[in-house]
Amino acid sequence: MRELIEITLDLGYIERDLSLTINERANNTLFVVEDATEHGEAPYQLIEGCFYDYELSNPNYFLADPYDNVVQAHKRVSHIGRIAPNIYVGTLEIPIFRKDEAEPKAVIQLEVQSIKSGYRDDYRDMLELITEKCTDLILQANSPVSHHFEINHAKDSHTLYQKFAFIKSVINTDEFAEAIHRIVTAPVTKWTEISEYKDIRNAKRFSNTNVKEFLKGGNRTRLPESHYLKKFGIESLPERITSIRKTDSVDTPENRFIKHALETFLKFCTDINDKAKKFGHRKTEGESEMVIRELESQLHHSIFKEISKPTTLKLNSPVLQRKEGYREVLRVWLMFELAAKLIWSGGDDIYSGGKKDIATLYEYWLFFKLLDLFQSIFEIEPTDISDLIKETPDGLNLQIKQGKFTAIRGVFDSGSRKLNVRFNYNRSFSGKKTYPDYGSWTTTLRPDYTLSLWPFGISEAEAEKQELIVHVHFDAKYKVANLTEFLDQSSEKELDEEKTQNRKGIYKNADLLKMHAYKDAIRRTGGAYVLYPGDKSINQKGFHEIIPGLGAFPVRPSKLDSGIGELKGFIQEILEHFINRASQREKIALRFYEVHKTEPKEDDRVNEFLPEPYGENRALIPDETYVLVGYYKSQEHLAWIEKNRKYNFRTGTGNGSLALDSQAVSSKFLLLHKEGDKDSSILWKIVSKGPKVYSKNDLLKIRYPSPSHEFYLVIDLEPVVDKELIGKTWKFKNLENFKKGNASAFPFTTSLAELIKNKV
């Protein structure tokens, strides 16, 4: 019997003896986390996707549900119920009400953990990368050399927490703390002159100023009569004179910037904290207080007392750009300055209501990782990247929320072949477009990322129509634990269990099924792959080549080992595959195009009795299997054909010569007729790989009756053995290529489909 855990929250501050008890339904899914406050989390923690029972000790109180059916009260007894976080991750702020009052008595905070054990680090690392990329994008557009310190923190914004999360992700890191430590332990200094009054007897060097002080300085002492200066008319000297000495000073422009940056961060976080208190955002209040304490401890270092305020910042300072510690703070400050002004509509999915939607964040993070990856492989500057950041009346808007966006478009030159390249984020493939346009065969589908490749020299639309383009799709799946489980289900018991779950609407392998949907439904798809933060890759090839295929690649939110290298190797394999002009994919694409380029007509149907296409007849497609129709001049000629199992055609340019086109050379059957025939039943199977050239003497040696030309084309024959063709008679005069009159003896070709339709 498993041991279940319950926790009890003492709510005596609301009413005496009031408490909330929460029970876990699954073992080890309810925790009290000691270091939660350090991470801006509530100490009482649940697990996403699990269920919990709760009960308030006083029936006059109940929990409200500010979310989408997360808190489910009992229909008849309101003080008990169920908490079902579903896919929610982050802080649940659940108000508690008294039945007879309209305002909540308090708000209870519960933290919902992700099923991923390292999601805290993942969340921070992914936010930091996105913030850094946004900074780079804005700098690409602005590229300032100097920047003025003018910040308006009083401006209110609906994206308050979003901006704070961006900034917190870069300030609250070990790297930033280490940078500050490097600065305060080894700051940049400069020589400065300090003016001070010293006893004139201790002065060693005298300046022009000191000479004047000899004559005019105050607080003077009379010189004795024997002093040697008496002879110059100097009766007295000042007791103290000005002395200038040089010393090291930390009050440099670079250190002023560091102090200003820390104070700017502190001011922003203080404003965030004030707004959080004003609007009752306890989570934001707690998180901002932690950052404030960290920044205050850094500013309390003694060197900052000696540093004055700056006026402007020169970004081209070698110290700021190169010296350890300084360059890291400069980078963070630029990220802060620009990210704080960024409006990201996608951020609402991630930060709203205390939510940490790391699955969506992983999707955005992967976009930037793939952008870097494809840019490095194809060596294409993302000319369309300027569309990613757009200025709006309320700020700079990051345009990567659920919509079509082309991140890379250009030409890749391998040396032997040029390819058009296009990388899209959230590109929709409409189910309303008909073949041969791009789109889906069924419903509209929208993979997270699509890489498209097609030959250089033609438009994308034309490449779609001619089956020359290939799309490779990727989907981000942060919460997939182990995709190999889906591919290794082999036992009957496991399959039966899976089918039972499917009937209940539970699809464990839904992610893999979605990849199948992309590959099979989206036209010209070469492969569909899951990207997930795991450690095992899966690459199932459709035939013998790298694509078509399905699979998964691990890409982890890690600064040291993200696993992106394996995905890079796979993309490079795809490129090598595209450079191969003799690939199976090229052949399949050509056949697909040839088959589908014209719409079949009603007359093209062949419903007659024919040999089945297997074994030797595997390639027997009626409208692609050709029949030669030839003429025999006499019974003696026919007897020679039957005995030698050969048939000869004239060569040269004269009338009656066989035209060696592809249909004639590839013909599989020979139908013979003579003068006066209305139809024919003499059908032979052609077994030679192509016609051979025989001379007149060659034919005489095998007793050909009276050859009249110097050379002939000869094919080898065998009797037809297919029962569907034996004993049948054909109206050859009805065939399209048959010519009347003197040309009736000329050889011609027809398809087996046309011949079958003219069966007697």
State the burial class of residue 241 (Cβ atoms within 10 Å of its Cβ: 0-12, 13-18, 19+): buried
Pairwise CA distance, residues 371 & 41, whole Å: 32
pLDDT of 541 > 80? The answer is no
This prediction has a pTM of 0.71
* Whole-number pLDDT of residue 390: 59
Query: 320-333 in b/e burial notation, b at 16+ Cβ within 10 A?
Result: beebebbebbbbbb
What's the first-to-final CA gap in the chain, in angstroms?
A: 82
- State the Cα–Cα distance between residues 346 and 312, nearest whole angstrom: 34
Provide the pLDDT for residue 107: 85
Structure tokens, 624: 């692609």
Torsion from C-alpha of 212, 215, 216, 222, nearest 10 degrees: 140
The pLDDT-based confidence of 153 (bands split at 50, 70, 90) is very low
**In contact, 621 and 613? CB cutoff 8 Å:** yes
Residue 478 CB neighbour total at 10 angstroms: 23
- Are 252 and 190 spatial neighbours (Cβ–Cβ below 8 Å)? yes
Tell me the pLDDT band of 218, cut-offs 50, 70 and 90.
Answer: confident
Mean pLDDT across 291-304: 90
**Residue 143 pLDDT > 50:** no
DSSP H or E run through 461: helix 460-465
The pLDDT, as a whole number, for residue 506 is: 47
Q: Give me the CATH topology for the region 6-113.
A: Immunoglobulin-like (2.60.40)
Residue 357 has pLDDT above 80, yes or no: no
The rounded distance, in Å, linking the Cα atoms of 361 and 597 is 43
pLDDT, tens digit, 9 for 90 and up, residues 180-200: 999 999 898 887 666 676 777
* In the chain, where the domains are located: 6-113, 121-187+252-356, 190-249, 362-590, 615-757
**pLDDT for res 5:** 65
DSSP 433: P
Query: β-strand 342-344 against 395-398: which pairing, if any?
Result: parallel
What sign for the dihedral angle of Cα 579, 580, 584, 588? positive
d(CA 525, CA 548): 8
Q: Token match 């013979």: residue? A: 672
Q: Which of 435, 434, 411 is nearest to 422 (CA)?
A: 411
- The residue assigned the tokens 């050969």 is 646
Q: Is it true that domain 615-757 has CATH number 3.40.50?
A: no
- Select the highest-mean-pLDDT range: 127-136, 525-534, 624-633: 624-633
Q: How far apart are CA 449 and CA 424, in angstroms?
A: 6
Residues 251-283: tens digit of each pLDDT: 888 888 999 889 988 988 898 888 878 877 777
Residue 197 or 748, more confident: 748
Cβ within 8 Å of residue 210, ≥6 positions away: 203, 241, 242
Residues 171, 124: Cα–Cα separation, whole Å = 11
Name the pLDDT band for 731 (thresholds 50, 70, 90).
Answer: very high
CB 289, CB 274: distance < 8 Å: no
**pLDDT confidence tier of residue 61, bands split at 50, 70 and 90:** very high
Cα–Cα dist 257/385, whole Å = 31
pLDDT of residue 211: 67
Contact 715, 686 (CB under 8 A): yes
Instruction: Please check the confidence at residue 419 and state whether its pLDDT lies above 50.
Output: yes
Q: Per-residue pLDDT tens for 639-677?
A: 999 999 999 998 877 777 888 888 999 999 999 999 889
Residue that wins the pLDDT comparison between 481 and 28: 28
Mean pLDDT (whole number) for 44-48: 89
